[in-house]
């Protein structure tokens, strides 16, 4: 059987080669590595905890709603959820990361002939998830698969950061990524069932780490 075009497009979206600059951000992990994340177990506990209480309860539910809105050609609804997602970024670093990666993905999709993305390059409340959802809708990717890809890409970026910062070996990084992969199906199911009133991340440790990272003396990452 030949692989579907949708699968190949999904792999493209989740690839670390996607030129949006996500590799430049640790989302507070750099501060954590300097203050107690000294081995594989500690790094895995941090990444899995943030993933469950952050992206799985905020980014994914917003992505799901924006994907459905793009399918319905309801751009106003997309913008509403994108604005809510951006407003939920508690620190200057996390907010700037969202704006920069969102703009980068908008430019990329525009250059890949998704003309709708063009206006989002300058939209002041753009988010990465809004453009990720647009690509998924226009490339025929199912909501659940798209959600899993977004969360896997987040976990992969965190594992890569941990390899550099803790530091860890490549095998340790792959063990962390394998553990994340085992959690993702359940977290996607959670996100699909979450009602609007319960959409929101609760990872105060990550928020504090991100805020403190802004004044950290030496840094490899922008957040």
CATH number, residue 166:
1.10.4190.10
Q: With bands split at pLDDT 50, 70 and 90, how would you rate the model's confidence at 3?
A: confident
In sequence order, what E strands does the chain have? none
Contact 143, 68 (CB under 8 A): yes
In a domain, 28, yes or no: yes
In a domain, 220, yes or no: no
Note the pTM of the prediction, 2 decimals.
0.96
Q: With bands split at pLDDT 50, 70 and 90, how would you rate the model's confidence at 97?
A: very high
Distances (CA, A) of 190 to 65, 81, 87, 91, 137: 14, 18, 22, 26, 21
What are the pLDDT digits (tens) for 194-208? 999 999 999 999 999
Task: Give the DSSP letter of residue 84.
Answer: H
Range of the domain at 86: 24-213
In a domain, 5, yes or no: no
Task: Give the DSSP letter of residue 145.
Answer: H
What are the pLDDT digits (tens) for 168-181? 999 999 999 999 99
Whether residue 217 is predicted with pLDDT greater than 90 in this model: the reply is no
Count of domains observed in the chain: 1
Whether residue 1 is predicted with pLDDT greater than 90 in this model: the reply is no
In a domain, 15, yes or no: no
Total count of residues recorded for the chain: 223
In a domain, 118, yes or no: yes
Whether residue 68 is predicted with pLDDT greater than 90 in this model: the reply is yes
Q: With bands split at pLDDT 50, 70 and 90, how would you rate the model's confidence at 104?
A: very high
In a domain, 73, yes or no: yes
Percentage of residues in the chain having pLDDT higher than 70:
100
In a domain, 178, yes or no: yes
């Amino acid at each position: 059987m030949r692989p579907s075009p949708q699968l190949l497009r999904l792999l493209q979206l989740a690839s670390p080669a996607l030129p949006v600059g996500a590799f430049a951000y640790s989302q507070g992990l750099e501060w954590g590595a300097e203050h107690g994340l000294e081995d594989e177990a500690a790094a895995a506990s941090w990444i899995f905890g943030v993933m469950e209480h952050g992206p799985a309860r905020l980014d994914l539910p917003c992505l799901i709603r924006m994907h459905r809105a793009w399918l319905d050609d309801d751009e106003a609804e997309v913008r509403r959820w994108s604005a809510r997602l951006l407003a939920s970024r508690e620190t200057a670093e996390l907010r700037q990361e969202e704006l920069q990666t969102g703009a980068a993905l908008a430019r990329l999709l525009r250059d890949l002939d998704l003309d709708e993305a063009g206006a989002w390059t300058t939209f002041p409340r753009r988010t990465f998830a809004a453009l990720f959802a647009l690509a998924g809708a226009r490339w025929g990717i199912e909501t659940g698969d798209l959600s899993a890809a977004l969360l896997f890409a987040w976990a992969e970026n965190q594992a890569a950061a941990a390899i550099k910062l803790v530091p860890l070996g490549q095998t340790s990084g792959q063990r962390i990524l394998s553990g994340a992969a085992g959690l993702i199906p359940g977290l996607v199911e959670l996100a699909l069932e979450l009602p609007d009133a319960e959409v929101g991340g609760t990872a105060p440790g990550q928020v504090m780490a991100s805020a403190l990272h802004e004044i950290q003396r030496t840094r490899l990452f922008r957040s």
